Amino acid sequence: MTSIASAASGRDGSMDAPFSTGTHAPAFAVPEGACDCHMHLFDNASPYAGPDVLKHQDATPQDYRALQRRLGTSRNVVVQPSSYGLDNRVLVAGLKALGDSARGVAVVDLTATASQLRDLEDAGVVGVRFNLVQAGATHERMLEDVAELIRPFGWHIQIHAHAATLIGLADRLARLQVPVVIDHYARLNVSPELRPSLEDSVFRLLSTGCAWLKLSAPYIASPQSTGYEDLESFAQRLSAMYPDRLVWGTDWPHVTEGGHKPDDAVLMGLLSRWFSADEITRILVDNPRALYGFDI
Region 280-287 average pLDDT: 98
User: Which residues touch 231 (CB under 8 Å, ≥6 apart)?
Assistant: 185, 188, 189, 218, 221, 222, 225, 270, 274
- The closest alpha carbon to 63, from 106, 4, 119, 15, belongs to 4
Long-range contacts of 108-114 (CB under 8 A, 24+ apart): 108/146, 108/149, 108/150, 109/137, 109/138, 109/142, 109/146, 110/142, 110/145, 110/146, 110/149, 112/149
User: How far is residue 30's CA from residue 136's CA, in Å, rounded to a whole number?
Assistant: 37
In sequence order, what are the beta bridge partners of 79? 105
Mean pLDDT across the chain: 94
**41 contacts 64 by C-beta, under 8 angstroms:** yes
**pLDDT-derived band of residue 14, with 50, 70 and 90 as boundaries?**
low
Alpha carbon distance 254, 216 (integer Å): 11
Is the pLDDT at 233 greater than 80? The verdict is: yes
Active-site residue, from 36, 183, 251, 286: 251
List, for residues 201-210, the tens digit of each pLDDT value.
Answer: 999 999 999 9
Query: Does residue 12 carry a pLDDT above 90?
Result: no
109 in active site: no
pLDDT, one tens digit per residue, over 91-121 is 999 999 999 999 999 999 999 999 999 999 9
How much is the pLDDT for 6? Answer: 34
Residue with the bigger pLDDT between 19 and 6: it is 19
Note the CATH number of domain 35-292: 3.20.20.140
Write the single-letter amino acid at 241: M
**235/77 Cα distance (integer angstroms):** 22
Judge contact between 206 and 246, C-beta under 8 A.
no
187: left (phi over 0), alpha (psi -120 to 50) or beta: left
Confidence of residue 4 (pLDDT cuts 50, 70, 90): very low
Residue 230 has pLDDT above 80, yes or no: yes
| Integer Cα distance of 158 and 181 in angstroms | 4
Query: How does pLDDT run across 137-193, given as a tens digit for each residue?
Result: 999 999 999 999 999 999 999 999 999 999 999 999 999 999 999 999 999 999 999
